Homo-oligomer: A and B are copies of this chain.
Amino acid sequence: MKYIDLTHPFTREMPVFPGDAYPEWKQAATIEKNGYNVVQLRTGMHVGTHMDAPNHMVEGGRMLSDFPPEHLIGPAFVVNAFEKPRVTLNDLDQMALSQVSIVLVYTGWDRYFGQEIYYRDYPELDLEFASALVEAGIKIVGLDFPSPDREPYAVHKKLLGNEVLIVENLTGLEALLPYQDIEVMALPARYEADGAPVRVVARVGQ
């Protein structure tokens, strides 16, 4: 049994979605002056590896703080869509779908994280792919790219409108490919917010 971290570090040089504000870090206390360090962070909640709650796209939708641990931890499988610009129903093993509550989509796009292309030419999920996840009662879908779609966000709305949480900007999903038995924990702090940075960890093997 071992753990695999699927999370980009949230550093001082985080890239953001075009148009979003960059995070600002402020040293609010120092060991020299106060006896301890405290950093203050001002950031949009959709930076780096983060989770979208329904409220991100659904008027009056639920916040991250509304979701219990049962929704955030569970058996997972990986859709291997390496280098595909669109992820379609053909990429989905529907048998495997019935065994899990979390689906991770591997495209390898995380290699461009921090480059301009990352937020420009990223792959998308087909609406039919998203609908199949909803039908199967999937609770979380995780992506190694920045968004499941573009305006007008039909895939986002399909998923979030059906309480399927979306994790964006994962990394290192290829490390999971050799494993059948995968448990994923995606635990955001309990913010009353439409999204937040999240640590995503997989436990694999026996």
Binding site for B on A (CB under 8 A): 3-5, 7-12, 20-21, 24-25, 28, 31, 35-46, 48-50, 55-57, 59, 65, 68-70, 72-73, 151-153, 156, 185, 187-199, 201, 203
Contact = CB atoms under 8 A, between A and B. Distances in A.
Contacts of A49: 189-190
A67 to B, nearest CB: 10
Given A12-B192, A31-B57, A57-B31, A40 B43 contact: yes
Contacts of A196: 189
Nearest to A186: B187
Contacts of A65: 9-11
A35 B151 CA distance: 8
Nearest to A54: B37
Contact of A44 (B8, B21, B38): B38
The CB with the most chain B CB atoms within 10 A, among A31, A188, A191, is that of A191
A196 B37 CA distance: 12
A185 to B, nearest CB: 6
B55 A190 contact: no
Nearest to A11: B192
Contacts of A153: 35-36
A72 B73 CA distance: 15
Given A4-B69, A187-B187, 4 more contacts: A8-B190, A73-B203, A189-B197, A189-B199
A38 B56 contact: yes
B55 A37 contact: yes
Contact of A45 (B40, B152, B198): B40
Contacts of A46: 38
